[in-house]
Chain A
């Protein structure tokens, strides 16, 4: 909207009387009709969307619980089944809500400088988190855990560790939480609350008490980047760099180079 010679030049028209109205107008200043709020669902649609998102989260939760408590992650084939189930389930949702999600796959803000700065921040963050978590685990729980040991008996163990710990989560967790979940929540509530909720649910799903303290800020950062950049690609790069750094730090600690 712009003002020329005391007149408003507007691109927006009232949905009822077709008169030009200000872009930010909730009501038409000519006929008084409430303009549609395209970013907000009505009450019934909100409840339907909540149920859809609850089913999405619930299915992820059940798969994670089964894999954690039945030791299904021990061995490559069971792990592939679990990861495959989560990935397929996420893809089904992405396909079902493609119209709403396709804008996230555009990359208008593409910049090598941004990629480098996000990637280096992720690497620095991963190094700091790795040492802090190791210290906390040793101090409080008197234990240490390594992703690599789940695959150490396999050929190409390091490559498999990077694929399952870094690549698969970077793609599918981003699609699930910064894609399906955050976009769905954006239609229910405002974008800040959507970032917080999707970050909280992402953290909960990892079912690790110690991880809560770094996963929550990490997920908030990913959610913020996705909102600011209006694309899911930067989040995937950050997530991949973060997890890959964690894998390489393990290899380094275990003298695998």
Chain B
């Protein structure tokens, strides 16, 4: 923070050609996206090309992050199927119905996280990954041998979600920095 200083010509005259934000007469660059308003045609074209490249980068990262939603759909489907199988195997057991309700709600939760991860990938992936790890650890706390079953698949799912999270974070950062 320093003493206030005047900026001349604060009159809004046009929209930025690149991001369509309002700009001032004296502006050399757009304060929203950095577009060289007074630059040569070559400079302006080069800026638009670079911005297009950033958009492509964001799309690529978003696509990588969106794999998390497919993973959540698969977990949800598998959980629902195993809930039904367990219910029919233990149908006479008094815990059959509560177990079916619990597993079904967790399956729905993963389904919702899958849908949400298309809109807010960072939050959805962190929540889904934590839920998945907690479920594995809870199962292991009851029966330690359960850790070994499907170990490679579990590791692949966790690694996939971590990679998707890193992509989502990077996409969010580029979008925020470049106002895309």
Contact = CB atoms under 8 A, between A and B. Distances in A.
B81 interface: no
Closest 6 A/B residue pairs (Cβ): A32-B29, A25-B31, A27-B34, A193-B123, A29-B27, A8-B7
B174 to A, nearest CB: 9
Contact of A43 (B31, B36, B165, B173): B173
Interface of A: 3-4, 6-11, 13, 19-22, 24-34, 37, 40, 42-43, 46-47, 50, 57, 61, 65, 68-69, 140-141, 188-189, 193, 196-197, 200-201, 204, 207, 209
B11 interface: yes
A193 B122 contact: yes
30 contacts: A6-B9, A9-B4, A9-B7, A11-B1, A13-B2, A20-B5, A20-B7, A21-B31, A22-B31, A24-B31, A25-B32, A26-B177, A29-B28, A30-B27, A30-B29, A32-B28, A34-B177, A40-B173, A43-B173, A46-B169, A50-B165, A57-B130, A61-B137, A188-B169, A189-B172, A193-B122, A200-B131, A204-B131, A207-B138, A209-B102
Contacts of A207: 134, 138
B169 A43 contact: yes
A10 B123 CA distance: 35
A4 B23 CA distance: 18
A65 B138 contact: yes
A11 B4 contact: yes
Given A20-B7, A30-B29, A188-B169, A69 B142 contact: yes
Contacts of B169: 43, 46-47, 50, 188-189
Given A26-B31, A29-B27, A32-B28, A37 B177 contact: yes
B177 A29 contact: no
B141 interface: yes
B5 A9 contact: yes
Contacts of A7: 6-10
A68 B29 contact: no
Q: Which DSSP category, helix, strand, loop or mixed, fits chain A's interface?
A: mixed
B134 A61 contact: yes
Nearest to A193: B123
A32 B34 contact: yes
Nearest to A204: B134
Given A43-B170, A188-B169, A196-B123, A31 B28 contact: yes
Interface string B22-65: 01101111111110100000000000000000000000000000
B161 to A, nearest CB: 12
Contacts of A50: 165, 169
B126 interface: yes
Interface of B: 1-2, 4-11, 23-24, 26-34, 36, 98, 101-102, 105, 120, 122-123, 126-127, 130-131, 133-134, 137-138, 141-142, 165-166, 169-170, 172-173, 176-177, 179
Contacts of A57: 130
Contact of A29 (B1, B31, B134, B176): B31
A8 B10 contact: yes
Given A27-B29, A29-B28, A29-B30, 8 more contacts: A13-B2, A26-B34, A26-B177, A28-B29, A32-B28, A40-B173, A40-B176, A193-B120
Contacts of B172: 189
Contacts of B11: 6
Nearest to A194: B123
A112 B138 CA distance: 43
Given A8-B6, A26-B32, A27-B31, A140 B98 contact: yes
Contact of A27 (B8, B32, B123): B32
